Structure formats: structure tokens, C-alpha cells
Amino acid sequence: MTAMPILQVDDIEVVYEQVILAVHGVSLSLGEGRIVALLGANGAGKSTTLKAISALVGAERGEVVGGRVLYRGKDVTRSAPDVLVRNGLVQVLEGRHCFPHLSVEENLLAGALASGGSRQEVKAGLERIYHYFPRLKERRRSAAGYTSGGEQQMVAIGRALMARPAVVLLDEPSMGLAPLIVDEIFAIVARLNADEGVSFLLAEQNASVALRHAHHAYVLESGRVVAQGSAAELAARSDIHDLYLGAG
């Protein structure tokens, strides 16, 4: 018997503003302690799929009109985003979204608000983030808006981790960043996964870097899954390679 996936998406359909069908029946699963990548070009439906899972799609006049999302075996399709966060499922949005005038540390502390926790727990949470992101410890008193793009991506991931999630949905972590920083961020994701078993579902246009770190991947095109397999299988497929792995 195979273990139940921590996250399972069955045939979801997502519509924006009641007319634009952005995702047409996507199914995927994320095993506990795994890293799964969602690949595909601009507009393929990666962000929409993540936001459908985290229930953030509603904030953009989007709606899941078909299918369902199961988290730890429970149907959470109509859950509120804050309830999902408290239950361990968080999303790091594309584009980083730091509070630019707050310090790096204040940004991280904002991530603890959603999940509550005692002063001691919050302090331990910060130390944990600084353990994985030593750069953020060095920059903790700087205004987030004055840190580099890579550091802001680290702040966004660190802030999500303050909620002690079991599953992190990570949207386009490499966007606009230099290759060395992208590698540094993916290495930290891999360590969090290996050391603590945090599961990641990450959307990436940069397929080659994603496949170096993911266990399994799905390729989306026009809101549908057009290929899936282990990262090694997909990386070895010449058709996938030509279509999606040219960059990076």
C-alpha cells in the first residue's frame, strides 16, 4: 500500500471573473516529504493551480468550479486561506511581497502572526529561519525594501516558514534572480525538505533548476497537465527538453 499523499488535487477547474477558464481539470499529488515541480510557460496555469490549492484565488475574482483539493485526506476545496495556514499549508506568492519599510526581522515576525504561538516559540522560530538563511540574520535590522531581490525572496520564504507549515506552495522562486542566488535558494529548499521533511509544491518556468531539486514534476500547458514523471525521466525526455528546458 502506498502512503496517502499529503496533498492531492483531483481534476480542478478554475475560472476567473466567471468567464476565463484558466485551469481545465488539473490533477496532481504531492507525497509527504517530497518536492514536486509544476513546470510550464508563462500563462500555463501554474500560479492559478497553486492559488486554487491555497484558496487565494478568490482574492482575484477566481473560483474553483470543479474538482477538489484534499489536504491530509480531507476536502479543503472551500476552506478559507487562514484556516489552511493554521493547518500547515502556506503559499509564498510570486513576486516576493515583502513589507518594504519593515525590517527583515519584522517581516519574519509577521509570518508568526497567522499561527499564534508563545514568545518562546516565536523566538525559536526566528532562530530556525536564521539557521537556514544566515544571510537574513546578517540583514535582520535592514529595511526589507533595501535588501537584494534574492534576500527578499528569502524573506518571503522565511516568513511563510514562521507558520511552521507541513506544505509550502512556492510560486516562481527563481523569478528575476541571478543563477547563483537561485541555486542558493533551491539548496535551502532542499535542506528544509531533507532535514525537516517539509513538502514543497513549486511552480517554475526555469525547468532545469526545478528538475535538479524536485523528485517529481508536472508540465502544464494551457491549463492542462500535458506530461508528468520523475524529475530524472522528464529531464531525459528530448521533447520536454526542447519545449520547456531551453532556458536556465
How many helical (H) and strand (E) elements, i.e. helices and strands, does the chain have?
10, 10
Site string for ligand ATP, 164-203 (x = CB under 6 A): --------x------------------------------x
Cβ-contact 224, 22 below 8 angstroms: no
Strands (E) across the chain are located at 7-16, 20-30, 35-39, 62-71, 74-75, 89-92, 167-171, 199-204, 216-221, 224-230
Helices within 197-229 (DSSP H only):
207-213
CB atoms < 10 A from the CB of 197, how many? 12
Site string for ligand ATP, 61-90 (x = CB under 6 A): ------------------------------
210 is a contact residue toward ligand ATP (CB under 6 A): no
11 is a contact residue toward ligand ATP (CB under 6 A): no
Minimum CB distance to ligand ATP smaller for 93 or for 143: 93
Among 43, 134, 149, 197, interactor with ligand ATP by CB under 6 A: 43
22 is a contact residue toward ligand ATP (CB under 6 A): yes
User: Rounded to 5 degrees, what are φ and ψ at 203?
Assistant: -95, 130
42 is a contact residue toward ligand ATP (CB under 6 A): yes
47 is a contact residue toward ligand ATP (CB under 6 A): yes
Residues at the contact surface with ligand ATP, assessed by CB under 6 A = 16-17, 20, 22, 40, 42-48, 60, 94, 172, 203, 205
